Amino acid sequence: MRKAIFLDRDGTIIDNQGDLGDPDRVVLLKGVVQAMARLVDAGWLLVVCTNQAGVARGAFTEDDIAAVHKRIDELVEREVGEKLIQRYYYCCWHPEGDLAEWTGTHDWRKPDSGMLLAAASDFDLDVSSSWMIGDTVLDIKAGIAAGCQTIWLTGQDQVTDEVVPTLYAPSLAEAADFILARSKVG
């Protein structure tokens, strides 16, 4: 079985904390591409798992999500010459959506673990050896629910007793450093 890094998208890979359906507004966070490249070089599979409730709100479409993901891949390839993210999983559902076809709950919507478990099945992943990295409590809850180790990208002002990740880190670069060091020791 393979091991993976499940990555949140907004606030983890790209600089965005709201609904983003415009590929021209994609900005990769500092150090993200290098961190992802080091993880891939060490044998980790990278999978993005992202809530995209902007579809349920009517802010953008699934085609817009695909365009944003294509833009992320283009920017990454421009920097390192290869695609690093194996696949993007996303959930458009939201309990308070404006579009009836996307309004409600769904087991793919974080904090549920459906996206991670779907990826684990699709790629024959060892979830217990894998990591979920994200910048919100929803990401950490999804990782824990799936049985992953977790890293919360957060400042101390965001720490809560609601959930305890395996580790807190200020950025994906530091999270990658930890995972790679732990892999060498373990």
Q: Is the pLDDT of residue 103 over 80?
A: yes
Q: Is the confidence at residue 105, as pLDDT, over 60?
A: yes
- For 16, the 3-state DSSP assignment is coil
Residue 164 lies inside a defined structural domain of this protein: yes
Count of positions (residues) in the chain: 186
Residue 155, in any domain of the structure: yes
Helix axes 114-123, 137-146, angle to 10 degrees: 50
Pairing state of beta strands 45-51 and 149-153?
unpaired
Give the chain's domain count. Answer: 1
Greatest alpha-carbon pair distance for the chain in Å reads: 50
| H or E segment and range at residue 79 | helix 62-80
Whether 22 is covered by a domain: the verdict is yes
> Does residue 17 fall inside a structural domain?
yes
- Say if 46 falls within a structural domain: yes
Containing 109, the helix (H) or strand (E) segment is: none
The radius of gyration of the chain from alpha carbons, rounded to an integer in Å, stands at: 16
Answer yes or no: 124 catalytic: no
Cβ partners under 8 Å of residue 79, min gap 6: 33
**Does any domain span residue 186?**
no
Residue 135 sits in a domain of what CATH number?
A: 3.40.50.1000
Domain of 30? 4-181
**Structure confidence by residue, pLDDT tens digits, 147-173:** 999 999 986 556 677 889 999 999 999
> What pLDDT shows up at residue 186?
52
67 pLDDT more than 60: yes
- Catalytic residue list contains 139: no
Q: How confident is the model at residue 1 (pLDDT cuts 50, 70, 90)?
A: confident
φ, ψ of residue 132 in degrees (nearest 5) = -110, 125
Annotated catalytic residue, options 10, 64, 135, 139: 10
* pLDDT higher at 95 or 160: 95
